[in-house]
Structure 1
Amino acid sequence: MNPHRGLIHHLIIRVTNARKSAGFYEPVFTYLGYELAGSSFDENYGYQDWKRWDLDTPHEISICQADLKFADQKHVRGAVGHHDHLAFCAESREDVDRFYAEVLIPLEQGNLATIEDPPCDCPEYGEGYYATFFHDPDGLKYEFVINPNHLHKKDQRKSKVSES
């Protein structure tokens, strides 16, 4: 089986103002290993395409300006059609701390992000779960997380499957 089967091929995030939001997404995606693959901004529409070329599979996240007729409709967390939040994997606790210090604090100081929670342990999500939570200019929620408990659960699953 292809190890990439079922992974996300691409994701489009709609934003109110693509040019303004680019100021948020550029440092976030650059830190996460994405490269800018294309962009365009004009008075009615704008977009940026970000790709990870190192994964041997198409993996792209685009920010696209919302249709002008919907510009006054704000993001409502929990509404149908809107994501609740998107979490990106970190390499380590130190990676979460570095992202917070190098990316999020400057973004918040530039009024391009809102930090909901600085890096913290989140035992309610599992042992070792460590994350920072933040929002883009439109209020879309994101998380940068290390979850070593995932590997422990994966090993437990393998043990159960091999016993069967």
Structure 2
Amino acid sequence: MSSRGLLHHMIINVSNVERSSPFYTAMFRYLGYELNDSSYGEDYGYEDWKRWDLNTPHEISICQVLEPLKAVPHQRGALGHHCHIAFCAEDREDVDRFHREVLVPLAEQGLCAIEDAPCDCPEYNDGYYATFFTDPDGLKYEFVINPNHLLKKAAREAAF
């Protein structure tokens, strides 16, 4: 299988790496990432998280936003800001477990906000099951299982 076109790396700017670290540490560890490198400087900090089990580089970094942009709050839908990032779950129980073991404890500590507990989302697809949540800066994430992808992939392959 070719890795062409897959995500190589991504950088997410946060207002404060040390404040955001507990959120991203819990999420990324659950998703199979390992902390590869980090620095927590007064003016600039970062954490590089990698998946080593894939046959291609796959890294997500959180980086402290630079001055004078620290005062600019995240605004979902604004130019240059992501609307949300969705990560794949193994199955419905994986979504439930992530919510229970990762999100609920983070929310209780004030380190994330859960927008939607695990739920069916038929408006997206039959069987679409997800939980939606935000990091300390309000950046939105989703953990989802979408079985229709495999059904559509099988139908597409059968047509060829």
Q: Same fold (TM over 0.5)?
A: yes
AA in 2 matched with 1:124: E
What is the aligned-residue RMSD (CA, Å)?
A: 0.7
- TM-score, with structure 1 as normaliser: 0.96
Distance 1:158 1:130 in 2: 24
Please give the residue correspondences for 1:12-161 in structure 2 after superposition, counting only pairs within 5 Å.
12-160=11-159
Tell me the number of residue pairs that the alignment of Structure 1 and Structure 2 aligns.
160
Distance 1:35 1:23 in 2: 14
AA in 2 matched with 1:29: F
Q: CA deviation at 1:42?
A: 1.6
Q: CA deviation at 1:159?
A: 2.2
The ranges of structure 1 where at least 4 consecutive aligned residues each deviate by more than 6 angstroms after the TM superposition are none
Report the secondary structure of 1:53's partner residue. Answer: coil
Q: CA deviation at 1:109?
A: 0.5
Distance 2:143 2:2 in 1: 24
Distance 1:32 1:96 in 2: 11
Distance 1:109 1:3 in 2: 41
Distance 1:3 1:133 in 2: 30
Gaps of 5+ in 1: none
Distance 2:48 2:71 in 1: 24
AA in 2 matched with 1:93: R
Percent identity of paired positions between Structure 1 and Structure 2:
64
Q: CA deviation at 1:16?
A: 0.2
Distance 1:50 1:158 in 2: 34
